[in-house]
Structure 1
Amino acid sequence: MLSKIYIKNMVCPRCIASVKRDLEGLNYKIHDIKLGEVSIEGEIDIPLVKQKLEESGFELLEDKNTQTANKIKSVIVEIVHHQNGALKENLSQVLTKELNQEYSVLSNIFSSKEGITIERYYILQRIEKVKELLEYNQLSLKEMAFDLGFSSVAHLSAQFKKETGLSPKQYKDLGIADRKPIHKII
């Protein structure tokens, strides 16, 4: 029998490694692990797992709607920060497919749990990625716009200025380093 648990703040490969190490240290056999979600063989001692995860800075999610909102965030983080290239389909289609629920239901759950829309969260994640790319001078604005799914450089620049108060060029020229941790974006 497989048991699933959902974990908040599990947003990067190092987080996955840390959670895996913690759970294996409790003698659980992990069947599958990905951002925000772990499948474990057998029964789970929830209080024990919850305590161990909290010691490492993670939170076990027990409420179904909170789990759904966290899954949405994990899918968006994966798309923006861990995949190369723009989406091949709409974000709503990706989320509907990944979570096997109607987008309107997902949207309502997310908004009620997080206080912002899915689209706004997606924009905030992409802006943080643009900040990272600007700081490391890795791509041109045109490449960033394409890779992050903006319709044009003008669209990227407008969204960036709306969120930061600066154009991407001003941000880069001023050498500002005000990036937020992925799990604290909202």
Structure 2
Amino acid sequence: METKERLPKNTQCSNLFTISQILLRFLATIFAMTSIIMLLVSNEEIYIGSEAFGYLFVGKAQYSYSSALRYMLVVDVGICVFSVLSTIVVLKAMKCSKNDPGHDFYFYLLIFDEVMMIMAISGCASATAIGMVALKGLNKPGISWAPVCPYAHRFCSKITLSVASSYAAFACLATLTIIGACKLKSLLQ
């Protein structure tokens, strides 16, 4: 009978940590990329009126008309770039060194992940706020914005998918932050 060599518990945890780090960073990149693509292809022309009598209004719904959606685009690009860079750093630190990186490495990785997570939620929140205005409009004394979604269904569907994908990237970054904090805590004990 063969006996399987068992890896020490520390090595198993380190391998699990590395795999989860790489996987979550990869997923954050994919979700942020999906959000970017959906934003960029969300443009739609709006026609109000009838074709027979001529249109009363011809307009265009574009993400670039909203500073909140432009901000989310910039944040998602940042998430993509920095997730790829941090994946490379994590791979080099975990695989190239024979010893486990020190607690300084995990501390800076945690800070980095927290900054990216905060940026992600700020982009998601701004896009969600303007999305609600596009969906329901705003009618307050002194200000009135008509809803866009009843006239631009494809635009609103793509923006909704973009925001949902951006929230998924945020969830990956939040999970990375929690995992990083747990790893740092275990090293300091």
After TM superposition, is the score higher than 0.5? Answer: no
Of the two structures, which has the highest relative contact order with CA contacts closer than 8 Å and spacing of 6 or more? 2
TM-score by length of structure 2 reads: 0.22
TM-score by length of structure 1 reads: 0.22
More helix by share: 2
